[in-house]
Amino acid sequence: MDCPRCRAQLPEVAHFCHVCGQDLRAGDAGRRKSFAVQPDEPVASFALISSIMPRGAGQRPQTYRAALTIALVVALVAAIFGAMPIAVLVAAFAIPVVYIVYLYDVNLWEDEPVPVTALAFLLTGVLALLFTALWTFLRGPIPFAPAGLDGTISAAPRLGTFLLVAVLVPVVGEAIRQVGPVMLARRPRFDDLMDGLTFGVVSGVAYSCFDTLVRHWDLLTGGLQNPDAGLWASLIFLEGFVKPLIMGTATGIACAEFSGLGRGYDGFTPRYFRGIAEAVLANVAYQAGTYLFSFVGNPTLAVVLSALWGLVILGVLILRVRNVLHVGLMEAALERSAREQGIGEDGDLQFCARCEMPLQDHAAFCTACGTAVRVQPKSHQPRAAKPAPAMAAGVAAPATPPEDTSPPGADVAAEHQARDQFYDDEEGRS
């Protein structure tokens, strides 16, 4: 692709010209609206599979979609007939099992299934089990009716219970969900943005799985319940499908920002802490909503309202995840384009200090965000190319002047005389 202003050769994925800074897409926003994972989908859409399973979305999206649909139907049918032990088990493990199969299918763990599974799923699950058992013991075991810290029914929200459920639990829970993915994302083979996102989703659904088992232990061990299709079906849909997707996508956003753009992982940057804040805010909104809706009076209506509130939060998170993925894939395209042009073959590929996208050789502007390279800190500016040695036959490479190795206090005049003699000799040879 040629720049229409200065005719410089540009990669197809460039947004700005790296020579003159021309905006190449001022009148064409097609690539910005076409999702890089699935070009037939817009970036701003609610497609679940291509958002949380990006590596397999282009090959077998229908397989994962069918698996989740079957699990949802089985759990709902069991709940409608009051078979809550089956319903709770299927709902708790449906998304985690499908996601672990997805990891195996795309070989994300790169021949290390045991360590990756242990860090991304089991570690989070064990910590979630312990933490949820602690706070539900304090709050009470009834998740869909108003209950105080002592388990007694309350006619109105209590400040202490609200702070526990809507503030403490989301904050500590998000910290727990970050442990495994951050440990994995620090490894060179797992420092890609999509890897960080995937590990975050795994950790989130693992937390939700064990959280559901603990909070609904009475339903899990209580046998058949009195048929109440509306209550049980809506509860299973909320706890088994809405909640894990909220926790998974929220944690995935934060972990993706930890992996970041550019070479290696970004680590504990302001963008990562912004992602943590977004994840905590989403979980605070979800937990606060489900607690307050429990005081509606009708348990079925309370759970239905909680499920609808959770779907609204999930929709916002999916849009955010798709934006993060799209930016990451465009960054990867720019980096590959730079590598194919021979830039950074020795590991010297430079990145924009503002958007962290790769810079083209001798760039004056970033092709992704249009920022002038010269206004960036010198540590981020592209280094000048090293001059090539003379290659013509019979022409020797220019000699290198002797280095100044004089110790402190040496005769400065003698030093200057020696260097003048060197340059006189060079001039005589030429």
Write the secondary structure of the chain as one string of H (helix), E (strand) and C (coil).
CECCCCCCECCCCCCECCCCCCECCCCCCHHHHECCCCCCCECCCCCCHHHHCCCCCCCCHHHHHHHHHHHHHHHHHHHHCCCHHHHHHHHHHHHHHHHHHHHHHHCCCCCCHHHHHHHHHHHHHHHHHHHHHHHHHHHCCCCCCCECCCCCECCCCCHHHHHHHHHHHHHHHHHHHHHHHHHHHCCHHHCCHHHHHHHHHHHHHHHHHHHHHHHCHHHHHCCCCCCCHHHHHHHHHHHHHHHHHHHHHHHHHHHHHHHCCCCCCCCCCHHHHHHHHHHHHHHHHHHHHHHHHCCCCCHHHHHHHHHHHHHHHHHHHHHHHHHHHHHHHHHHHHHHHHHHCCCCCCCCCCECCCCCCECCCCCCECCCCCCEHHHCCHHHCCCCCCCCCCCCCCCCCCCCCCCCCCCCCCCHHHHHHHHHHHHHHHHHHC
Give the residue from 356, 346, 344 showing the smallest Cα distance to 380. Answer: 356
What's the half-sphere exposure (Cβ side, CA atoms, 13 Å) at 198? Answer: 28
What is the token pair recorded at 113?
Answer: 């299934």
Instruction: Tell me if 308 sits within 8 A of 178, measured CB to CB.
Output: no
Q: What are phi and psi of 351, to 5 degrees?
A: -125, 150
pLDDT tens readout for residues 366-413: 766 666 665 555 444 544 444 444 444 444 444 444 444 444 444 445
Please tell me the predicted confidence (pLDDT) of residue 89.
Answer: 93
pTM score over 0.75: no
Please tell me the predicted confidence (pLDDT) of residue 250.
Answer: 94
Dist. CA 116–CA 122, nearest whole Å: 9
Determine what percent of the chain is predicted with pLDDT higher than 70. 63
Is the predicted pLDDT of residue 420 greater than 80, yes or no? Answer: no
Is the predicted pLDDT of residue 335 greater than 60, yes or no? Answer: yes
Instruction: Tell me if 64 sits within 8 A of 102, measured CB to CB.
Output: yes
Q: Give whichever of 70-79, 222-231, 296-305 has the largest mean pLDDT.
A: 70-79
Angle at CA 201, nearest 5°, toward 197 and 206? 150
Please tell me the predicted confidence (pLDDT) of residue 409.
Answer: 45
Average pLDDT over residues 233-241: 91
Please tell me the predicted confidence (pLDDT) of residue 130.
Answer: 94
β-partners of residue 267 are: none
Please tell me the predicted confidence (pLDDT) of residue 298.
Answer: 84
Average pLDDT over residues 43-61: 74
Dist. CA 303–CA 297, nearest whole Å: 11
Average pLDDT over residues 116-133: 87
Please tell me the predicted confidence (pLDDT) of residue 185.
Answer: 82
Is the predicted pLDDT of residue 308 greater than 90, yes or no? Answer: yes
Average pLDDT over residues 51-79: 80
Is the predicted pLDDT of residue 137 greater than 70, yes or no? Answer: yes
Average pLDDT over residues 276-287: 95
Instruction: Tell me if 313 sits within 8 A of 288, measured CB to CB.
Output: no
Is the predicted pLDDT of residue 332 greater than 70, yes or no? Answer: no
Dist. CA 124–CA 78, nearest whole Å: 28
Is the predicted pLDDT of residue 419 greater than 60, yes or no? Answer: no
Instruction: Tell me if 231 sits within 8 A of 238, measured CB to CB.
Output: no
pLDDT tens readout for residues 345-361: 455 567 776 666 677 66
Average pLDDT over residues 114-142: 80
Please tell me the predicted confidence (pLDDT) of residue 324.
Answer: 82
Q: Give whichever of 17-26, 143-152, 308-317, 398-407 has the largest mean pLDDT.
A: 308-317
Q: Give whichever of 61-75, 96-110, 169-183 has the largest mean pLDDT.
A: 169-183
Is the predicted pLDDT of residue 143 greater than 60, yes or no? Answer: no
Total Cβ atoms within 10 A of residue 373: 20
The residue that leads in pLDDT, 248 or 22, is 248
- Indicate the average pLDDT of the chain: 75
Average pLDDT over residues 179-191: 83
Q: How far apart are the first and last CA of the chain?
A: 45
Is the predicted pLDDT of residue 116 greater than 70, yes or no? Answer: yes
Rg (CA), the chain: 29
